[in-house]
Structure 1
Amino acid sequence: MGHTAAEIADRRFADWMRGNLGLAAEHMAVSVTGDPVFGWRMRSIGARARDDSGGDRWLRVVSEFPQWARGQFWTGNADANDLPETISRPHVLGTFEWGDGRCQRAELSTLLPGHPCSNTDIPFTDEPMPFSWWSTLKDTLATLAGTSTSRVHADQDQVTRRIRETFGDQAPTHVERWETVHGDLHWNNVLCPEFGLLGWEGWGRGPAGTDAAELLCCSLLAPATYVAVLSQFRSVLDTSTGRVAQLYAAARLLHRAERNRHHEAARALRIHGRLLAE
């Protein structure tokens, strides 16, 4: 059975990204020891690696067109090195950039224990977590919220535009409180059984409750997990800004789900957003 032109192009791009990972490993003097893992739409590739001292690391390469390979999103993971040490996250040990029509950025980071709570952003099944895990998550988000930064995850114009494009002009958009947020808190970026947070590209100032709102929206297909998130973060999710944060998170996730043809997630997100917008 033959392959479509899109499938052939994807295969070639995946092979090219594997080559980029090998080039980065050679430049940064590490050996790739794990199977490569691709990020969203093969924009990035990462794998376990080992340095000369025998230390386990994580090597990641992201590729972008030149117009996107700049600004705070491009350096977010390294910028997160300046966050309080009590926030469990990878520390970027070194970077390497090069270009060949596209721009590549390699980051060598510390490797956290544990594994992602889900292989997907929006899981279909529940993953029960102990009280201590939820407590650490809440403490981490509280510490992050109170951290000063000039980075911006989303401003009022971005929030308003995204919500109204998706849920209409009648949906509430005004943000009363702002805080520092992770900005991409889905279940594939959260580690267990030992807590940790991955994916710091987009962190910065955003609506209060953004992270709780996104985690709730990423739990719509896992009922017990949805109830657990709601019970842990009800105090912020039930505020006016918390509802706006949910609409913003639902709109962002809906766009991603539709592009990935995740129809069940898209349907649940649209319903959730419409209920909030009434």
Structure 2
Amino acid sequence: MEWDADGLAHRAELSAYIATPVCSPAPALTERIRLPDAWWARLREAIEAVAVTPSPGSRSPVITQEYIHRAIPRYLGNTGVDTTVTRWSLAHGDLHWANLTRPELTILDWEGFGPAPFGFDAAHLYAYTLPVPEVAADVRRTFADVLATPDGRLAELTVAAMILQAAERDPVHARLAPLVSAHLPVQREQANPR
């Protein structure tokens, strides 16, 4: 909850201790994990519930339209995809393997939630799963109807641009960058990261 009063900004967060272990100690999956169908179904239901939840009016977006217009051409070149987001929905905004628990699913680390391009959470999780193709196939299968749409494609391109930009600053994203580049579903002109 966030509010302003008497010229001061206030924020209150409710936290809970979760004893269930995370799926991975790092955001990007590095080894194959086996998750039951019920876990995947619960993840799908949770992401769908978040996406249809009205966004609090004061909540900042996970990513802005301006960033998308700027970053996709800069980091991916000419994708042939219109970078205008036509469908925004609420998203966790940082859905990766260090924010998911198993064997019981809990989604952790909600401080960055907000409006994002529809399909952003599915695209984000998929990108962080690319190092383990077997699990990446599970993510793709779970969210196939989302990622196969024009909205999902734009979400994937947005996440790819974010990862390629972050690759300049940290080793986690530097390791993901070549996998993301190889996965991109478009023929693209040379991007200029500078």
TM-score by shorter chain over 0.5: yes
Query: Higher relative contact order by CA 8 Å / sep ≥ 6: 1 or 2?
Result: 2
Alignment correspondent of 2:3: none
Q: Say whether the 8 Å CA contact 2:79–2:186 is kept in structure 1.
A: no
Give the RMSD, CA atoms, in angstroms.
2.2
Match of residue 66, structure 2, among 157, 165, 186: 157
Match of residue 265, structure 1, among 176, 186, 193: 176
Match of residue 88, structure 2, among 163, 174, 178: 178
Q: Which runs of 4+ in 1 moved over 3 A?
A: 275-278
The letter for the 1-side match of 2:122 is A
Mapped partners of 1:174, 1:206: distance in 2: 12
Alignment correspondent of 2:6: none
Partner secondary structure for residue 29 of structure 2: coil
The letter for the 2-side match of 1:158 is Y
2:110 matches 1:204 = no
Alignment correspondent of 2:139: 229
Once the two structures are TM-superposed, the CA of residue 277 in structure 1 deviates from its matched residue by 5.6
Match of residue 75, structure 2, among 150, 157, 166: 166
Once the two structures are TM-superposed, the CA of residue 170 in structure 1 deviates from its matched residue by 3.8
Q: Say whether the 8 Å CA contact 1:250–1:272 is kept in structure 2.
A: no
Once the two structures are TM-superposed, the CA of residue 256 in structure 1 deviates from its matched residue by 2.8
Mapped partners of 2:168, 2:101: distance in 1: 26
Once the two structures are TM-superposed, the CA of residue 161 in structure 1 deviates from its matched residue by 1.6
Mapped partners of 2:68, 2:29: distance in 1: 25
Gaps in structure 2 of 5+ consecutive residues: 1-8, 189-194
Mapped partners of 1:111, 1:193: distance in 2: 16
The structure with more radius of gyration: 1
Alignment correspondent of 1:66: none
Mapped partners of 1:276, 1:159: distance in 2: 17
TM-score w.r.t. length of structure 1: 0.58
Alignment correspondent of 1:220: 130
Once the two structures are TM-superposed, the CA of residue 141 in structure 1 deviates from its matched residue by 0.7
Pick which of 236-245 and 157-166 moved more: 157-166
1:170–1:265 Cα change, 3 Å: closer
Gaps in structure 1 of 5+ consecutive residues: 1-70, 79-91, 93-108
Count of residue pairs the alignment pairs up: 176
Once the two structures are TM-superposed, the CA of residue 160 in structure 1 deviates from its matched residue by 1.7
2:25 matches 1:119 = yes
Mapped partners of 2:137, 2:70: distance in 1: 29
Once the two structures are TM-superposed, the CA of residue 269 in structure 1 deviates from its matched residue by 1.6
Mapped partners of 1:190, 1:160: distance in 2: 30
Once the two structures are TM-superposed, the CA of residue 195 in structure 1 deviates from its matched residue by 0.7
Mapped partners of 1:133, 1:192: distance in 2: 8
Q: Say whether the 8 Å CA contact 1:167–1:277 is kept in structure 2.
A: no
Pick which of 125-134 and 166-175 moved more: 166-175
Once the two structures are TM-superposed, the CA of residue 265 in structure 1 deviates from its matched residue by 1.8
1:229-276: CA deviation from partner (whole Å, max 9, x where unpaired)? 000101010111101100111121233344223443221122223x33
Mapped partners of 2:80, 2:74: distance in 1: 10
Partner secondary structure for residue 116 of structure 1: coil
Alignment correspondent of 2:191: none
Q: Say whether the 8 Å CA contact 1:120–1:188 is kept in structure 2.
A: yes
Mapped partners of 2:73, 2:147: distance in 1: 20
The letter for the 2-side match of 1:271 is A
1:130-150: CA deviation from partner (whole Å, max 9, x where unpaired)? 111111111111111111122
Mapped partners of 1:204, 1:264: distance in 2: 27
2:159 matches 1:253 = no
TM-score w.r.t. length of structure 2: 0.82
**Bigger strand fraction:** 1
1:147–1:267 Cα change, 3 Å: same
1:12-67: CA deviation from partner (whole Å, max 9, x where unpaired)? xxxxxxxxxxxxxxxxxxxxxxxxxxxxxxxxxxxxxxxxxxxxxxxxxxxxxxxx
